[in-house]
Amino acid sequence: MMLTAQSTKTARPKHKELVLTPWSVQGSLDMPTIDRAEGSWLYDTEGKRYLDLSAGLVAVNLGHGHPTVIRAIAAQASRLCYAAPAFFNDLRAEVAQELAILAPWPEGARTFFTTGGGEANEDALKMARMISGRHKVLTAYRSFHGSAPGAGTLSGENRRWFNEPGIPGVIHFFAPFPYRSPFNTADPAEETRRALEHLELVLTYEDPQRVAAILLEPVVGSNGVIVYPDGYLKGVRELCDRHGIFLIFDEVMTGFGRTGAPFACRRFGVTPDFITFAKGCTSAYVPLGGVIVRERLAKYFDDHVLGCGHTYSGHPLAIAAAHGAMQAYREGGLYERALEIETWMRDLLGGLSQRSPLVGDVRGLGAFFAVELVRDRATREPLTAWQGTSPGPLPAMLKTLRERGVYAFGRYSVILITPPLVITRDELAFGVDALAASLEELAHTL
């Protein structure tokens, strides 16, 4: 439907009246009405454009409107829009084959498809429990694994509070965070050592023989884009091996080229037992997620019932989008392109810290970076208390950023710089310049 001048004028009040927006106080919402998008840019109904500096919610890895994915969806829509998950389907098999190739296991893998990342994490835990016969799962406090009751309980940060008491058997622990060490050290190597000792102590108190899995984001996502110090993920893998615990990597954000590899586990050289994915598998064009299971575990279900299922598991339109997206990643060299983007990020964002005293830390890798804002660099006092009762001044600053033609996603004191993998250096520079100007404006108000 083409938007008329009248429908454009009424879209904002109608949306505000009738639609509930996630994670927001509804009365204070003031967002543009997005009409279309192309490449790294969003366009609203008034014709204003915005650089999509966070790829939506770290999801639109291919940029908007990629023709290969659009053609794949259109072709599938004219052939088959739905088939129950119990039926075999050619594209489901091809996408699963591609995922097995991208995964790190020489013995191969099988994939169970879901609608999104939260379902994938819930189903990975169910599989780990079924195969191991154990019940407990450990996840980090600084983590987000989804918002439904199961995935919400797996999450460690404050969005889990809305689900409490939640599902039983979930235990949280502290993972390393070099900039704000929970282990009282400024030495990354010591941070790793103390974090692994802490995790082993938690296991001791929970009885490792009762723990089915440890679930981790290989790079912390919306809770600050925290890259774990060297040796931590390897140490967690060794702990899991020692106690017969499965290691699940939540690669919903880090998958599909975001870190400069198909999956972050391949960049870090640490092999999990399950990989959960979503977002970038279709560049978020159609909802799709899943669990990739290494073959030696997947074969358990050859003679045991797989107790997982969803009406939209392997939905044909979503699978077609994934098939087209993977073709686009391969043909465009986009699984590795974030390695080049990383050099731009370090240069431009490193310069940002020189331009604004509010920038306390710049961290990340690939096309997955964050800027953490502080009131005082020496004391590292955050702009806003993490998980505090107030969002602080960041939402207003992000609004001024949009007024300068840039959209970015942020929480409390952290802004995520996670652009589409097709972004150019000039576009990224434009975004960083707009961010610097918005930070300068913010500094005058504090």
The domain containing residue 360 runs over which residues? 5-65+333-443
pLDDT of 345 higher than 60: yes
Q: What pLDDT is stored for residue 1 in this prediction?
A: 47
pLDDT digits (tens, 9 = 90+) for 266-278: 999 999 999 999 9
**Are residues 382 and 357 part of one domain?**
yes
**Are residues 389 and 422 part of one domain?**
yes
Q: What pLDDT is stored for residue 11 in this prediction?
A: 83
Q: Which residue has the tokens 């950023």?
A: 401
**Are residues 376 and 262 part of one domain?**
no
Q: Count structural domains, the chain.
A: 2
DSSP category for residue 64: B
Q: What pLDDT is stored for residue 50 in this prediction?
A: 98
**Are residues 164 and 110 part of one domain?**
yes
Q: What CATH number does residue 140 fall under?
A: 3.40.640.10
13-46 burial, b at 16+ Cβ within 10 Å, e below that, comes to eeeeeeeeeeeeeeeeeeebeeeebebbbbbbbe
Strands (E), 220-273: 246-250
Its sign, for the CA torsion 234, 235, 238, 244, is negative
0.85 exceeded by pTM: yes
**Are residues 61 and 82 part of one domain?**
no
Bridge partner residues of 289 (DSSP): 114
Its sign, for the CA torsion 274, 279, 282, 287, is positive
Helix (H, G, I), strand (E, B) or coil at 436: helix
pLDDT of 433 higher than 60: yes
Domain final residue, candidates 314, 332, 350: 332
Q: Side chain identity at 194, as an amino acid letter?
A: R
pLDDT of 6 higher than 90: no
How many percent of the chain have pLDDT more than 90? 92
Q: Which residue has the tokens 């509010």?
A: 358
Q: In what order do the strands lie in the sheet with 136-140?
A: 109-114, 289-294, 274-277, 246-250, 211-216, 136-140, 170-173
Domain final residue, candidates 332, 361, 384: 332
pLDDT of 5 higher than 70: no
Q: What pLDDT is stored for residue 197 in this prediction?
A: 98
pLDDT of 324 higher than 70: yes
Residue 123 to residue 14: CA distance in whole angstroms: 37
pLDDT digits (tens, 9 = 90+) for 191-226: 999 999 999 999 999 999 999 999 999 999 999 999
Domain final residue, candidates 332, 361, 382: 332
Most confident of 26-30, 158-162, 401-405: 401-405
Q: What pLDDT is stored for residue 3 in this prediction?
A: 53
Q: What pLDDT is stored for residue 388 in this prediction?
A: 85
Phi-psi region of 244 (alpha: psi -120 to 50; beta: other; left: phi over 0): left
Q: What pLDDT is stored for residue 29 in this prediction?
A: 85
**Are residues 396 and 352 part of one domain?**
yes
pLDDT of 132 higher than 90: yes
pLDDT tier for residue 30 given thresholds of 50, 70 and 90: confident
